[in-house]
Structure 1
Amino acid sequence: MKLIKLDAIDSTNDFLKGISATQELENYTVVTAENQTKGKGQMGAVWNSEKSKNLIMSVFVKDLLVNSDEIYKLNIATALAVIEVLKTFSIKNLSIKWPNDIMSDNFKLAGILIENSFKSDGSITTIIGIGLNVNQTDFDNLPKASSMAVVANATFDKDELVVLIVERLKVNFELLSTNPDVLWKSYLDLLFKKGIPMAFSIANQKPFMGIIKGVSNRGKLVLLLENDRIEEYGIKEIQMLY
C-alpha cells in the first residue's frame, strides 16, 4: 500500500481523482489528511472534522468492478470493513445506517463516500473516502455525532487504523468475487433500525411511518409502509427521521 500523508487539503477524494488522472497509481494507494476543508458526504453533505483528531482517508482501487451493476457491493464491503475494524477495539452497538453511515447506538461515528470513474476502455476505477471520528470529543454542534474516543473512553492511533482498514478492505473485496452473499447477509443484519417502525420524509411531503425490510441489489432502501405496500427508495429520495 502506498501512503500519501497531507497536512491539509480541500478533499482527499478530489486529490486522488486529480493525481489518478495524470499518473498510473498503485492499487490501494491511500491519501490521508490532518485537515480537510471541503470534505464531502452523500448528497453533497459537508463532512466537518476537528483538525488532527480524526481519520480522513481515501483509497484508490482499480480492476475491481466489471460492470456498473456491482457498484453497490462496494458500499457493503467498505461499510463492513470499517465495522470489523471497530469491533477489534471494542466499539459497542455498531450498525450501518443506510446506505453507509457507521453508527454506535444512535450516534454517527463514520461516513463513507464512494466515487467511480468509467474509462473509455470499459474499466472502472474507484475512490473510497472514509471519514472516521477517532479522538475528537467535542460535538456540541453535532448532536448526532460521536467518536471512538467518546464510546470507548480511550485514545487511538490513526495510522494503525489506516493499515487495519485497508487490510480489511482487501479481504472484503476478495469476498466480492468469491462469496458476496456472506457480505450481503452481514450488511443486512447490521442495518440501523431494521424491523422497527420509523418516521421518514420525502421532499415536499408529510413525514410517514415505515419499517426497514432490507436493501435491494441496486442499493435502494426497501420499506414496508402502513398500507402494507413494499416500496423502494433511492439515496436522494428519502431521509430517515431519528
Structure 2
Amino acid sequence: MYIIKLNAIDSTNTYLRGLVSVAIPKDYTVVVAEMQTNGRGQMGANWQTQSGKNLTASVFKQLLFCDVSDQFYISMAVSLAIYNALKSFKIPRLSIKWPNDILSANTKICGILIENVIKNNKFQGSILGFGLNVNQKTFDNLPKASSMCLVTGVVYNKDEILSEILKQLEKYFDLLESKQHSQIKSEYESLLFRKDKPSTFQSSKHGNFSGIIKSVTETGLLNVWTEDEIIKTFDLKEISLLY
C-alpha cells in the first residue's frame, strides 16, 4: 500500500487520474489531502469541506478480475466498506442512500465518487474517491450534511479511520474477486436507506410520486414499488428520493 499525503489539491480523484494517464499505479495507491479545493460528487456536485477537518481521499484499485458489466458491484463494495468502517467507530443509525451516500439517521456524512479505468473494453482499475465528514461542525446552507463528530460528540483521528476503511476495502474487493456477487448485493440492499418504507420521490418525467424501494438491479438501477402496484426501474438521472 502506497499513501501520498498532500496539504492541498483540487481533487484527489483528479490527481490519481493524472497518475493513471502516465502508468497504472500500484494496487491500493492512496491519495489523501488535508484540503480539497474542487472536490466533486455525483453528477458534478461540489463537496464542501473545511481544511484539516475531514477525510478526503482516493484509492486506486486494480481490477483486472472484473468485467465491465460489474461496475455497480464496485460501487456496492466501496459503500459497504465505508459503512462497516464507520460502524466500527459506533456511528449510529447508519444506512446507504442509493446509489452510494452514507447517512447517519437522515444526514449525509460521506459521499463517494468512483471513476473506472477501462481500455479496449477491459477493466484496468478504478479510482475510488470519498469525502468523509469527520470533525467538521458547521455546514453552510447544507441542512442535510453532518459529520462523525457532530453525531457522536467524539473528535476522531483521521489516520485511524483511513486505516479501517482500507482494511474494509480489501475485505470487500477480496469478496468481489472471488465472485461473491450475491453476498455483496444482498448485504447492500439490506442497508438501503428507506428500503421497504413508503417514500416520496421526485421524477424528471412524472413529478412527485409515492413508492417503496425494493431492490437494485445488477447494473445499479433502483426498483421501486409504485402506487399502481407495479415495480418500476429508475436510473440516477431519472429520480431522486425526497426526505
Quickly say closer, same or farther: Cα 1:185–1:90, change in 2 above 3 A. Answer: same
CA displacement, residues 105-138 of structure 1 (integer Å, 9 cap, x when unaligned) = 0000101011101113834220000110000011
Q: Deviations over 1:38-80 (max 9, x none)?
A: 1111111111111110000000011344321111001111111
CA contact (8 A) 2:68 2:121 kept: no
Give the equivalent residue in structure 2 for 1:105: 105
1:185 positional shift:
1.5
The answer to whether the 8 A contact 2:13-2:129 is kept is yes
TM-score, length of structure 2 as denominator length: 0.96
Aligned-residue offset at 1:183: 1.8
Aligned length: 242
Deviation sequence 1:190-217 (CA, Å, 0-9, x none): 0000111111112254211111011111
Task: Give the Cα–Cα distance (whole angstroms) in 1 for the partners of residues 120 and 232 of structure 2.
Answer: 35
Q: Map residues 1-242 of structure 1 onto 2, 5 A cutoff.
A: 1-120=1-120, 122-178=122-178, 179-203=180-204, 205-242=206-243
Partner secondary structure for residue 186 of structure 2: helix
| Distance in 1 (alpha carbons) for counterparts of 2:63 and 2:191 | 28
The 3-state SS of whatever aligns with 1:207 is strand
Q: State the shift of 1:140 in Å.
A: 4.0
Contact 2:65 2:177 in 1 (8 A): no
How far apart are 1:229 and its partner, in Å? 1.4
Cα distance 1:139–1:3, how it changes in 2: closer, same or farther (>3 A)?
same
Equivalent position SS for 1:71: helix
- TM-score, with length taken from structure 1: 0.96
- C-alpha distance in 2, partners of 1:123/1:213? 30
Distance 1:98 1:120, change over 3 A: same
Residue range with higher mean Cα deviation, 57-66 or 77-86:
57-66
Q: Quick check: 2:201–2:241 contact (8 Å CA) kept in 1?
A: yes
Counterparts of 1:69 and 1:3, CA distance in 2: 29
What amino acid is aligned across from residue 186 of structure 1 in structure 2?
E
Identity %: 45
Q: Which one is further off, 8-17 or 120-129?
A: 120-129
Q: Is the 8 A contact 2:66 2:177 kept in 1?
A: no
Contact 2:64 2:123 in 1 (8 A): no
- For the Cα contact (< 8 Å) 2:94–2:104, is it kept in 1? yes
Question: Which region of structure 1 is more displaced relative to structure 2, 118-127 or 152-161?
Answer: 118-127
* Aligned counterparts of 2:10 and 2:215: Cα–Cα separation in 1: 35
In the alignment, the residues of structure 2 paired with residue 121 and residue 67 of structure 1 have an alpha-carbon distance, to the nearest angstrom, of 9
**CA contact 1:57–1:130 (8 Å) conserved in 2:** yes
| 2:22 match: secondary structure | coil
**Contact kept in structure 2, 1:65 and 1:71, CA below 8 Å:** no
Q: Which runs of no fewer than 5 residues in structure 1 stay unpaired?
A: none
Q: What displacement does 1:13 show?
A: 0.3
Q: Specify whether residues 177 and 208 from structure 1 end up closer, same or farther in structure 2 by C-alpha distance, changes over 3 A only.
A: same
